Amino acid sequence: MTTYDKGAKPDNGQFISFDHVRFLVGNAKQAAAWYCTHFGFEPFAYKGLETGSRLITQHAIRQNKIIFVFETALIPGNHEIGDHLIQHGDGVKDVAFEVDDVEWIIKTAKKAGAEVVRDVTEESDEHGTVKYASVKTYGDTLHTLLERKNYRGLFLPGFKEHPSPKTFWQTLPRAGLNFIDHCVGNQPDLEMESAVKWYENVLTFHRFWSVDDSMIHTEYSALRSIVVTNYEETIKMPINEPAEGRRAVSQIQEYVDYYGGAGVQHIALNTSDIIGAIRALRARGLEFLSIPDTYYDNLRERLKHSRTKVTEDLSVLQQLKILVDFDENGYLLQIFSKPCQDRPTLFLEVIQRHNHQGFGAGNFKALFESIEMEQNERGNLFYKSVEEGGEKLPGGWA
C-alpha cells in the first residue's frame, strides 16, 4: 500500500462532506422502501406531483448523516432517465458534495476543462437559498456541488416532509449507520489513472492511498485501486480498475460489463458499533457475502504476532462474517452486502474504524474469493469464448 502527501492547501473552495447520493431507478417509491426496510433508513423528504413536480419524483431517505435520494420519471418519454436505466439499470447517478464556495470551485473546474452539466444555479424557498452546480466525472456519473450555508430548510428547495409515516420502520431493529465513509467508482481496464487525474485537476483532490495487482489478487482476479480525497480528507473516493486474471472475469470487470461502463460500485457506511449494526441488518433481512471459517483461523494466527489487539470478540465477528484488517496503528471492521438490484453491480459496505484509515487491503483476497463464489453461481466467473460455444456479450465475455 502507498500513501501520499496532501500537498498545498487550495486557495479557496473547501469541500465540507458528502451531501447525498442520488439514484436513478425504475420505481423510486419501492426502491426507497427497500432501503428503509433492509438498511435502517427512514423516509425523510419528498418531491412529486403533490409538491408541484410534474416530470419526476424523488424520495429522500435518511439515517443520521446519510441521505439517499431515489428518482424516477413520472411521464413517458423521459429519455434522460429511461436511457440511463436501459444502459445501467438502477444505480447511482450523482454523488453530491457540500462545499463552501461553489462559484470558485466551478471557475477552477472550468479552467481545468471540466464538463459542466449545470452551471451555478440558485434555488430558493421560504427557508433560504441553495447554490449548486453539477460536473460530469467518470462514465455517466455526476458530482453536484451544493452551497447550502444560506439555507435552513428540511433538505433542498422543492422538497417537503415525506408523507410516509415512520412508525413501521421505527419498530425494526436500529442499524446505527452514521455517515458515508467512502464511495467507490469502478473503471474499465487502464482508465483508473485518467479518472484519478480528473479529480486532481478538476476538484483539486489529492491521492490518499493506493494498491496494485501485485498486492491485491487471487488465482482468478485482481484489481488496482487509488483513493482520492479533498484537502480536509472528509470525502474519500476510491477508484478501481480490473487487472488481468486467469481466464476469469474479475468482479470489477463483471461490474463494468453489467453496468455498461464506469460507475459507482459501492458505498461504505460508517458505524460506531458494527456488531450491533450487522445483527440489526440481518434481522431486517439484509443478505451479506459469506466468508469461510478458514479466514478467521488465519486471522487469529496473524493477530498472535501483532501488537494490535482487537477488542471485539472474534467468535462473534466470525458468526456475523465481519472482516478485520489491521496494521501497527489500529484496525478496521467491515462487511459487504450482496448486490442491491438484479444486476450484479451496486452493493453497500458497513465499516467501523479503530485508528485505521485504510480500505481493507488485507481483506481483499478473502472478499474476492467470496465474490468469486457468487460469480460462479451466476455463471460469470470464467471466460467462455465464442469458439468454445459462448455467446458474445457487450463486455466481450459469455
As a whole number of angstroms, the distance between CA 104 and CA 91 comes to: 30
Q: What CATH code would you report for 2-170?
A: 3.10.180.10
DSSP letters, 267-320, are EEEEES-HHHHHHHHHHTT--B----HHHHHHHHHHHHT-S----S-HHHHHHH
What integer pLDDT is reported at residue 393 of this predicted model?
A: 45
b vs e for 279-315, b when ≥16 Cβ sit within 10 Å of the residue's Cβ? bbbbebebebbebeeebbeebeeebeeeebebebeee
Q: What CATH topology corresponds to 177-378?
A: 2,3-Dihydroxybiphenyl 1,2-Dioxygenase; domain 1 (3.10.180)
Provide the annotated binding site for Fe cation. 182, 266, 349
What's the whole-model pTM score?
0.90
Tens-of-pLDDT digits for all 398 residues of the chain?
566 677 778 778 899 999 999 999 999 999 999 999 999 999 999 999 999 999 999 999 999 999 999 999 999 999 999 999 999 999 999 999 999 999 999 999 999 999 999 999 999 999 999 999 999 999 999 999 999 999 999 999 999 999 999 999 999 999 999 999 999 999 999 999 999 999 999 999 999 988 875 554 455 567 889 999 999 999 999 999 987 654 455 778 889 999 999 999 999 999 999 999 999 999 999 999 888 888 888 889 889 988 999 999 999 999 999 999 998 899 999 999 999 999 999 999 999 999 998 876 766 665 556 556 665 666 765 544 434 454 544 444 33
Is residue 90 classed as helix, strand or coil in its secondary structure? Answer: coil
What integer pLDDT is reported at residue 17 of this predicted model?
A: 98
As a 3-state breakdown, the chain gives helix, strand, coil percent values, each rounded to 5, of 25, 35, 40
Fill in the DSSP letter of residue 149.
T
Q: Please count the helices (runs of H) and the strands (runs of E) in the chain.
A: 10, 18
- Grid coordinates belonging to 205: 483532490
- Grid coordinates belonging to 316: 462473534
Element (H, E) at 86: helix 79-88
E-strand stretches of 12-76: 15-24, 42-47, 56-63, 66-73
| Per-domain residue ranges of the chain | 2-170, 177-378
Same fold, 2-170 and 177-378: yes
What integer pLDDT is reported at residue 369 of this predicted model?
A: 62
First CA to last CA distance, the chain: 33
Provide the annotated binding site. 182, 266, 349
Among the listed residues 164, 134, 141, the one whose alpha carbon sits nearest the alpha carbon of residue 28: 164
Instruction: Judge whether 18 and 180 are in contact, CB under 8 Å.
Output: yes
The dihedral region occupied by 113, where left means phi > 0, alpha psi between -120 and 50, and beta the remainder, is left
Instruction: Judge whether 59 and 84 are in contact, CB under 8 Å.
Output: no
What is the radius of gyration, based on Cα positions, of the chain?
21
